[in-house]
Amino acid sequence: MKLKFNIAIVGSGLTGNIASLALSEAGYKVALIDPNKFDKFKHKTYDTRTTALSKKSKLFLEDLNLWKLIEPHTCVIKNIMVNDGNTKDNIYFKNPLNASQDALGYMVKNKALFSSLIIAIKKKQNITKYDSKVLSFSRSLENVTLELSNGVKIKSDLLIAADGKNSFIRKKAGINVYKKNYNQKAFIFNVRHTKKHNNLATENFLEQGPLASLPITQNKSNFYSSIVWSCNYPFYYKIIKYKKNDIEDVLNFYLSDYYGKFKIISDIKNWNLTLIKANKFYDTRLLLLGDAAHSIHPLAGQGLNLTLKGIEILYNLAIEKSIKKKDLGNDYTLKIFSKKQYLNSITIIFATDKLNFLFSNSNIFLKKIRKLGIYTFKKSSILKNLFKNYASAGKLSIK
C-alpha cells in the first residue's frame, strides 16, 4: 500500500522545514522525509551557527504566521560598517531613525530558528514527518513514488529536493551542477565581548579574507556576536592550527574599538567554500530548493534569503493552484517557478561572486583596487545604496 501526499519533501533542514510549513499553509498534504529526528536539534551543541534574515524574508515569514515564533530569538541589525582593515576607511550603512520600522536585517541562532519551526510543524495536521532515508524513487508524467528505509512507500504529485548541496535526489535525477572552488575556508563561531554591539554588523575585508561580526541577542551584562571568517588560501592552514586565544588576538586587533575584548564561547567549525549551482532547478515531477539548487558564498549572508525567495514563489503558485484545484507538480507550473528563481539566483550569485573576488584577493594590484573601491564607496551614495540593499534585502537596486 502506498501513502498518498500532494508533496514529498526530502530534507528537514531550514529549507525543508519552511517549505513544508508554506505548502501546508497553502492547504497541501506534505510528507517531510529525513533520517535525522527532530529531537536531535535539542542538543545544545548541535548547531552553533547563526542566520541572517532580510526585511523581505521577515515579511514572508509573517505571511506564514511564523515570525511571531521566531522574533523573540532575533537581534536587529541597525547599522553595517565596512572597512579594509583600516579604521580610517570605515563606511557606515545606517538605519533610519525609526529602527523598528526599517531594520537593515535580523540575526537569529540556527538552534532557535530550528526549534521555532519544529514547534510549528508539530502543530500542522497536514505535515507528516518520516525519520527515514529515501532508498529509491521513480517518476512518471503523473506522479512520483518513493521507497523509504522503514519500508513505507509514498506517492506524491511533486518531489522537492531540499537535501543540501550534495543532494542525493538531485544526483539520482541526473541533474548536473556548476561548481567553483573559492580556495577559502569558512571559520564560524560565537563570541562574547566587553562592549555592547549596539546592533552593529561589521564586514572587514582583510588580506586573509572577509571577517564579519554579526550581532546576536544579548542581556544587560553579557554581549554576544557571531563571527564568520572566510579565510583565503594559504592563510587558512595557519588559522586551523591557531588556538582560541590566537584567534581572539586577531579579533581584538581589528575589532576591539567597536566590541571591546573578545572571548570565544563556542566550538570553531570550518568547511571549504564552494559555489554550486544546478544546471536546472526542475525536472519531471521534481523541484530543487535551497542548497540543492544553489549553494552560495556566505558574504553578506544571503543564502537562506535566496532560498526563501524560492519558497515564496512556490507558495504563491501553490495558493493559486490550490484554489483552482490544479496540480502543483506539472511541468507548466514548475517552469514558472524555475524561470523566476533562476533569475534570482543568477543575480545574487553574480553579486556575491564578484564582491568576493574583489575584496578577498591578496593580489597586489587588486589590493590597490580594493583601496580605491573603499574610497569610491565612501564618496558615492549610489554605490552605498546598492551595497546596503544587497546586504539587507538581497536585491540589486539603488532605491
The model's pLDDT over 45-57, given as tens digits with 9 standing for 90+, comes to 567 789 999 989 9
Fold (topology level) of 2-45+110-177+279-353: FAD/NAD(P)-binding domain (3.50.50)
Contact (Cβ atoms closer than 8 angstroms) between residue 26 and residue 315 = yes
Helices 381-393 and 364-379: crossing angle, nearest 10°? 100
Residue 295's alpha-carbon distances to 196, 213, 288, in angstroms, are 33, 21, 12
Which of 232-236, 280-284, 355-359 is predicted most confidently?
Answer: 280-284
Q: What is the pTM of this model?
A: 0.89
pLDDT digits (tens, 9 = 90+) for 141-156: 999 999 999 999 999 9
**pLDDT tens digits along 306-332:** 999 999 999 999 998 766 667 899 999
pLDDT band, residue 364 (cuts 50/70/90): very low
Residue 218 contacts residue 265 (beta carbons within 8 Å): no
Res. 265: pLDDT tops 60: yes
Every domain range in the chain assigned CATH 3.30.9.10: 71-109+180-273+359-393
Q: What is the mean pLDDT of residues 90-100?
A: 55
Q: What is the mean pLDDT of residues 247-257?
A: 94
What is the pLDDT at residue 99? 46
Residue 181 has pLDDT above 80, yes or no: yes
Could you give the residue range(s) of every CATH 3.50.50.60 domain in the chain?
Answer: 2-45+110-177+279-353
| C-alpha cell at position 197 | 554591539
**C-alpha–C-alpha distance, residues 91 and 83, integer Å:** 6
200-204, 255-259, 297-301, 321-325: the lowest-pLDDT one: 321-325
Share of the chain above pLDDT 70, in %: 81
Higher pLDDT, 64 or 55: 64
How many Cβ atoms from other residues are within 10 Å of residue 194's Cβ?
12
Architecture of domain 71-109+180-273+359-393: 2-Layer Sandwich (3.30)
**Whole-number Å distance between alpha carbons of 128 and 110:** 22
Q: What is the 3-state secondary structure (H, E, C) of the chain?
A: CEEEEEEEEECCCHHHHHHHHHHHHCCCCEEEECCCCHHHHHCCCCCCCEEEECHHHHHHHHHCCCHHHHHHHEEEECEEEEECCCHHHCEEEECCCCCCCCCCEEEEEHHHHHHHHHHHHHCCCCEEEECCCEEEEEECCCCEEEEECCCCEEEEEEEEECCCCCCHHHHHCCCCEEEEEEEEEEEEEEEEECCCCCCEEEEEEECCEEEEEEECCCCCCCEEEEEEEEEECCHHHHHHHCCHHHHHHHHHHHHHHHHCCEEECCCCEEEEEEEEEECCCEECCEEECHHHCEECCCHHHCHHHHHHHHHHHHHHHHHHHHHCCCCCCCHHHHHHHHHHHHHHHHHHHHHHHHHHHHHHCCCHHHHHHHHHHHHHHHHCHHHHHHHHHHHHHCCCCCC
Torsion of CA 328, 334, 339, 342, to 10 degrees: 100
